[in-house]
Each structure stands twice: as C-alpha cells, then as structure tokens.
Amino acid sequence: MAPAAIEIGPASGPRSELKPEGQATTNGNTNRTPPSLQHEEYQYLNLIREILDNGEHRPDRTGTGTKSIPFPPQHRYSLSRPDGTLTLPLLTTKRVFLRAVIAELLWFVSGDTNAKTLQDQDVRIWDGNASREYLDSVGLTHREEGDLGPVYGFQWRHFGAEYRDCHADYSGQGVDQLAEVIYKLKNNPFDRRIILSAWNPADLKKMALPPCHMFAQFYVSFPSSSPTRKDSSKRGTLHALLYQRSNDMGLGVPFNIASSRGSPQTAAYESTERLSHAGGCS
C-alpha cells in the first residue's frame, strides 16, 4: 500500500531558520515580530530560551538534575487550516522521530502495556523504563521485563480495572474512556465532561513511570462563522486541552505536540486546535 500523503503544518513554513523572539539577527537588528504574526513554533523556541535564561536548577529522580520553570504560559497549536484541511504540527527546528510518534500512539490506543510491542517495531523509547534493572529499582521485581504496568493505554481503555500483567485479557473491564470521549464528541458535543485521564492514584505505584501527559479535556465550538454542511448542520471546531505535569522540553514535548494530531479524538473533527497547559518544564 502506498503511504498516505501528510501535509506537514502549520509548524512548517517558508522560513528554514526560526529564532526565538527578541534574538539578534545577523545584521544586528532584533527580531520583534508581532506575536499575532509569529509562527506557532516560536512558542516552543521562546519557552526553551526562557528555561535556559531563567530556569532554576532542580534535583530529579535520575540524579542528573534539570533547569526548570513552573507553570509556563499556555501554548496553542492549530491542527487544521481555516478551510478545514488537516495539518500536522511537527516542529521544524527539532528533529522528531515521527515513526515512533505514530507507533506509540497506536500502542496507547490499543491499551497495550508491553514495551516489547514497540521494540518489535524498532521503537525503543520505553526501553529505559522496561529493563529488568529499572523495574527492580522501582520495586516491581515481580514484573517481567518489558511489562510497564497500568500506564497510559491501560488507563485510557480500562480505567479502574485490576491490573494483572501485560498479557491478560481486559476486555469489558474498567471504563473505556477513549470510547466514551469519541461517543460524546459525536453524539453530545456540548457535554462539559468530555475528559480523558491517565492519572489514577490507585495505580501509580504499579506503573513503571507515572503519566506525564495526564489529563485532556475536549470542547466543541460552533461559532456563527462555522460552515454549514449539506444536511444544514454546522461544522464544529474541536478544541483539545492537554495538561502535562512534567515536560521534557528537548525530547518529550515535540513528541507530544505531534501525537495530538493523530489521536482518535482530534481526528474525528475537520477543524481542530490543541491547547497545552504545563506543570514543570525542563
């Protein structure tokens, strides 16, 4: 099967080099592009600059330490153009392993928690948290290597079910949050409880790594300017707000920005927008 064409945007534009706002250019002038005209990728670049310039050093669980700032401004990334053409917000100033983004997202959606599923596709982004040494270090000595516990996909598809291992059949167990979100978006888009949560306090100690992107809320708007379909219904615009308790700005965040386009919730609508709230950024 020939690969489907993907339009890379809006985070790809005519300029091949992007500089944080206020950074001096080669001719000595300072880039003062009005915020409303700035490329969306500047949100990421400016936040990187803020962390480098003003971040505080904080110890972390790895022993490496980070430079970090708390609760940065909300970021907004368009997932479609005004005419409804779907776009992919893939950063152009940071190489993003797109094949791994897609593989991990499908892994989440399937409810899988076995890192070997990704390893078999030569995607090794979870290897560090799936090794025998690491699992033993966090008290999961009974868990086989590769079994990450009730992480993202399990919470999305079986929230509240009792986790046994990565091989068990959980069909019909727990709350299928993903199915509920999609059902509400299609049948009750005005619902104010269209929420997806990966943060389950009862399961945190069973996880190899607690979720970073832990909470999402969806809102469908029908502004007066919305196009009308042939059946006289208005075309809705889906807004997705993602909260991340912890943000790896160099590696994880570019992944998360791209992943938001492919999720079943956002793919269900012609016009979409992703909003991001963050806890600590480092």
Could you tell me the two tokens for 28? 């000595």
Instruction: Tell me the pLDDT band of 128, cut-offs 50, 70 and 90.
Output: very high
If you ran DSSP here, which 8-state letter would residue 134 be given?
H
Which structural domain, as residue segments, surrounds residue 237?
A: 35-97+175-281
Residue 15 located in a structural domain: no
Asked if residue 123 is part of any domain, the answer here is no
Q: Please give the average per-residue pLDDT across 115-135, as a whole number.
A: 98
| Residue 130 domain flag | no
| Residue 264, pLDDT score | 55
How confident is the model over 182-232, as pLDDT tens digits?
999 999 999 999 999 999 999 999 999 999 999 999 999 998 888 888 888
Within a domain: 206: yes
Is residue 212 annotated as a catalytic residue, yes or no? yes
What total of structural domains would you count in the chain?
1
The predicted-structure confidence for 41-65, as pLDDT tens digits, reads as follows 999 999 999 999 999 999 988 888 9
Residue 215 lies in a domain: yes
Please tell me which residue in 212, 240, 257, 258 is annotated as part of the active site. Answer: 212
Question: What are φ and ψ of residue 117, in 5° steps?
Answer: -60, -40
Does a structural domain hold residue 204? Answer: yes
Question: Among residues of the chain, what percentage have pLDDT more than 70?
Answer: 80
Query: Within a domain: residue 118?
Result: no
Cis-peptide into 14, omega within 30 deg? no
pLDDT, position 228 = 84
Task: Specify if 102 maps to a domain.
Answer: no
271, burial (CB in 10 Å: exposed 0-12, middle 13-18, buried 19+)? buried
What per-residue confidence (pLDDT) applies to 1?
Answer: 39
Q: Which of 183, 175, 178, 181 is nearest to 194 (CA)?
A: 181
The CATH number for 186's domain is: 3.30.572.10
Counting other chains too, the contacts that 163-172 makes at CB distance below 8 Å and 24 or more residues apart are: 163/203, 163/206, 166/112, 166/113, 166/114, 167/114, 170/111
pLDDT for position 232: 84
